[in-house]
Structure 1
Amino acid sequence: MATNKKPLDIIILGGGIAGLTTALALTKFAPKDSVPRIQIIEIRPVPATIGGAVNLTPNALRILDHLDVFKVIREKDYGKDIDELEVFDIHSSKLAVSDFKGPEGKGIGNPPFKALRITRGDALKAVLEVIERQENISLTCGKRTVDIKETEDDVTITFEDGVPCTGDILMGCDGIHSVTRLKHVDPERKETYTGVCNAFGFAQVPRDFEVHFKCTALNFSQRGILLTSYHDSKMESVYVGALMSVPDIGTGRDGWKQAGADAETTRADILRRFGDAKIPCVRSLIEMTEDFYMWPVFTLSKDGQWSTNRCMLLGDAAHAMPPQGESTGIVFEDTVIFSRCLAQWMDQGQPGGSPREAFDAYEQLRKPRIAAAFEESRAVVSSVTDAGWLGYTLKTWVIPWFIWYTRKSRDKHFEEDVTRVELGY
């Protein structure tokens, strides 16, 4: 096939995990003689990420391995390996286990991976280290977008300082509050608060501190779910995150930030919900957590526009949803599948000069998977809603059955390698 020798100029809005991994995937899967020139633009003064510790499932780690990031994670000893996720009722006992060990105990898939609990900050540092090695990628911080204009041939961003930036393609990897979406791709599609908030922090624990879990646990109560998990290999710190129903503060992000700054009020609320646990360490971990931060969970409508002829939204900018166990992995899959679609279009000689064909192929592949994940995420919202005694009792009966029933489909997804999936065009 003929290959156009002119590299694409690609602009990525968003210097978080989504934007950085998109840049790496676009570089990794591009035709070797047409590696794109990529500019990453971040609104913050330095690359940063907000949030606690995420669970990277086997399929997510497989992608990071393809992008050379997993090697850095291992070299820096970031995160804590997870053999299994344990589920508890805080008033009784263990309800179920979801494991990542696979049939031979080495992990799931080929090559096999287990799971990894890692802070968002450490994950970002690992990705940044690989980004710095790429000659075709530049990262500029402290730039606020005020306008986006698209023509048949290119797309131009204008920043607050008046300086424009023009490229062949614009990638909106700028999260739930995406400027790319709100100013250009789908301005009417605004985020909405789910009624669920994650209040999280970290507890430093002594070596002899006894916990009820091997690495990570979901602890159910009538008023939410408390996640407790080691996130470092030395097991010196426990991530504590309370996913619970919280009324909308109604004053935007600043209001949530202010509420989160009052750690003792948040701690008192969490203790009211989980402090009567019969599992001794639950109350102790809440009391030992040094600070708490409020992370409101926003979502987008299930259906919406992801692209124009030269702009594409990826990750939360396109399909933000409540956490359903694989949120970060879904973003990684986005980046790889899109990059492969674009690379194939480039290999075919960029027919017509517009990447629309690649965009359409990506959306046809991706939208069914996102629709399924969206439905799964609805169960998370219902599971943290305050429940009466009967409703909660029924829930504790259903959880073990649900985990058993869905295991095969979960493992099938964990085995998947999206670097090899058929693109269909």
Structure 2
Amino acid sequence: MPSKKNGLDIIILGGGIAGLTTALALTKFAPRDQVPRIQIFEIRPEPATVGGAVNLTPNALRMLDHLEAYEVMKANNFGKHIDELEVFDNYSTKLAVSSFRGIDGKGIGSPPYKALRITRGDALKAVLEVLHRQDNITLTCGKKTVGIEETSDDVIITFEDGEIYRGDILLGCDGIHSITRLQHVDPQRKETYTGICNAFGFAPVGQNFPVHFDCTAMNFARRGMLLTSYHNPEMDSVYVGALMEVTDIGSRDGWKQVGGDAEKTRAELLSRFGDSSIPCIKPLIEQAQDFYLWPVFTLSKDGNWSTRRCMLLGDAAHAMPPQGESTGIVFEDTVILARCLARWIEKGKPGGDPKEAFEAYEKLRKPRIADAFEESQNVIRTVSDAGWFGHKIKTYVVPWYLWFTKGYREKHFIEDVTTSDIGY
């Protein structure tokens, strides 16, 4: 084991939200005299994120508050706070609401939080601002990993430019196409296409532009679901994002070509949602800018997350279709792993590797991820193509499902994994 006096040398592959928040959590929860030295390596030339706007649920905001990123979001007016998520039938009326108001209207949990719809880019900016304050964290971009070797004492990373780095621990936060997983931890566990695509853009709107929602609406149609949502306090832009069934293109290059054709994506959305009885749906699709389409991949439910010195986090370990809490689940990963590693250090366990901490983490996380995975399969079924009768069934099932699962969702919204019992 590395000297308790010196702390750990930790390498993180992946400079997206998962990698950056992992570094912050490891710093925040480390024993005071054991702050780790963390090196983050990102393959892209600068930190970036792919995707539109995400909903940060109360548990996600609670963790970001602990990591000091939520304060940055508020200070910069990033995102739009959400009281409730409204659910509509694309052809008739409102079906249901999912509220974040809590009992007294102030939010859920103690202290209370509501939800925040924020662009992925703004969320990344907030986390980066906090990261740059940390003297123990280094972020290096433009580094492509070509080799991972693990010994009894350390992990050795080789990059395409010939540079070599050593660490006590390697954390793979490098997404669904994770090099950490595919080259080292579980090479046989490859991503598969779900049959579902996400298409998104941002529609500029005037102050008097009429919409049918307070902040965020899910609009269910026969051939998919369209999310329409404000994402900034000015409410001068609406995020337009669809989940829909699309035939597999068959290659990453093919998906890039199709995904980059904004007008073809717009035409596809108009064909699926343009016949809506909700007046604003068609003009929002017509006005949306920079439309992009990307396939949703998933990993099998079971698989290896770790070796003796390497651990996968976020999509690298358990990528799944969007199911309402995806971003919050990643933040939970980072905090719980950081707490398990801190406890392992405090115990001063012999043996020279952190496998015991990894096992404690997996014991906590795998049941939670298994539940989320099953929920994600419901999402696939709900947004898949259906005829008139099948859609009619959806309009009855969706409100019932939201009512039936309300207790389950609020249980996780209230949970604070920064203080909860980790059983270790």
- Percent identical among aligned pairs is 72
What CA distance in whole angstroms lies between the structure 1 residues aligned with 2:128 and 2:354? 28
Residue in 2 that maps onto 1:49: 49
Q: CA deviation at 1:265?
A: 1.1
TM-score by length of 2: 0.99
Query: 2:196·2:296 contact (CA, 8 Å) conserved in 1?
Result: yes
| Structural mapping, 1:73-112, within 5 Å | 73-112=73-112
What secondary structure, in the 3-state scheme, does the structure 2 residue paired with 1:170 have?
A: strand
Q: How big is the shift at 1:264?
A: 1.1
TM-fit CA distance, 1:291: 2.1
Work out the CA distance in 2 between the residues paired with 1:159 and 1:410.
Answer: 42
Whole-Å separation in 2 of the counterparts to 1:55 and 1:256: 25
SS in 2 for 1:324: coil
- In 1, distance between residues paired with 2:218 and 2:245? 16
**One-letter amino acid of the structure 1 residue matched with residue 12 of structure 2:** I
Shift of 1:228: 0.3
Distance (Å, rounded) in 2 between the aligned partners of 1:48 and 1:21:
14
Q: Deviations over 1:217-258 (max 9, x none)?
A: 000000000000000001010000011000111121x32221
Q: Give the alignment of 1:177-326 within 5 angstroms.
A: 177-252=177-252, 254-326=253-325
Q: Which residue of 2 is the match for residue 384 of structure 1?
A: 383
1:351 deviates by 2.4
Q: Give the stretch that moved more between structures: 351-360 or 58-67.
A: 351-360
Which one is further off, 166-175 or 383-392?
Answer: 383-392
In the aligned structure 2, how far is the partner of 1:122 from the partner of 1:414?
Answer: 22
Supply the AA of the counterpart residue of 1:384.
V
Looking at structure 2, the residues matched to 88 and 200 of structure 1 have their Cα atoms a distance apart, in angstroms, of 19
Q: Distance in 1 between matches of 2:119 and 2:41?
A: 23
Task: Tell me what 1:348 maps to.
Answer: 347
Describe the SS at the equivalent of 2:50. coil
Rounded to whole Å, the distance in 2 between the matches of 1:162 and 1:405 is 55
Identify the residue that residue 372 of structure 2 maps to in structure 1: 373
**In structure 1, distance between residues paired with 2:132 and 2:166:** 22
Aligned residues: 422
Contact 1:157 1:165 in 2 (8 A): yes
- Deviation of residue 339 (structure 1)? 0.3
CA distance in 2, matches of 1:363, 1:116: 29
What do residues 65-109 of structure 1 show as CA deviations (whole Å, max 9, x unaligned)?
000000000000000000000000011000000000000000000
- Tell me how far 1:353 sits from its aligned partner: 1.8
C-alpha separation between the residues in 2 aligned to 1:414 and 1:47? Answer: 29
Question: 1:153-164 alignment to 2 at 5 Å?
Answer: 153-164=153-164
Q: Is the 8 A contact 2:47 2:141 kept in 1?
A: yes
Letter in 1 for 2:328: G
Distance in 2, matches of 1:398 and 1:166, equals 52
Alpha-carbon separation, structure 2, partners of 1:127 and 1:203 = 26
TM-score by length of 1: 0.98
Please give the alpha-carbon distance, in whole angstroms, between the structure 2 residues aligned to 1:233 and 1:153. 50
Amino acid at match of 1:116: L
Partner residue, 2:147: 147
Task: Quote the Cα distance in structure 2 between the aligned partners of 1:400 and 1:384.
Answer: 15
The offset of 1:401, in angstroms, is: 1.3
Residues 8, 35 of structure 2: 8 Å contact kept: yes
2:152/2:352 contact within 8 Å kept: no
What RMSD, in angstroms, separates the aligned Cα atoms of the two structures?
0.8
Deviation at 1:350, TM superposition (A): 3.6
Partner of 2:138: 138
Q: Which amino acid aligns with 2:165?
A: C
Q: Which runs of 4+ in 1 moved over 4 A?
A: none
Cα drift, residue 313 of structure 1: 0.2
CA distance in 1, matches of 2:328, 2:248: 28
Partner of 2:357: 358
Q: Is the 8 A contact 1:79 1:231 kept in 2?
A: yes
* Corresponding letter in the other structure for 2:76: K
Q: Deviations over 1:284-340 (max 9, x none)?
A: 100000121012100000000000000000000000000000000000000000000
Paired residues of 1:4 and 1:350 also in contact (CA < 8 A)? no
Question: What amino acid maps onto 1:352 in structure 2?
Answer: G
Aligned counterpart, 1:14: 14
Letter in 2 for 1:245: E
User: Separation in 1 of the partners of 2:383 and 2:121?
Assistant: 26
Deviation string, structure 1 residues 354-377 (Cα, Å, up to 9, x no partner) = 101100000000000000000000
What 5-or-longer segments of structure 2 have no aligned partner? none
Q: CA deviation at 1:352?
A: 1.6
SS, match of residue 292 in structure 1:
strand
Q: For residue 408 of structure 1, report the CA deviation from its aligned partner.
A: 1.3
Which amino acid in structure 2 is aligned with residue 208 of structure 1? N
Structure 1 residue runs without a partner (length 5+): none
- CA distance in structure 2 between the aligned counterparts of 1:420 and 1:187, rounded to whole angstroms: 35
Match of 1:424 in 2: 423
What SS does the corresponding residue of 2:203 show, helix, strand or coil? strand
The whole-number CA distance in structure 2 between the counterparts of 1:401 and 1:199 is: 27
Work out the CA distance in 1 between the residues paired with 2:327 and 2:26: 18
Q: Distance between the aligned counterparts of 2:401 and 2:45, measured in 1?
A: 44
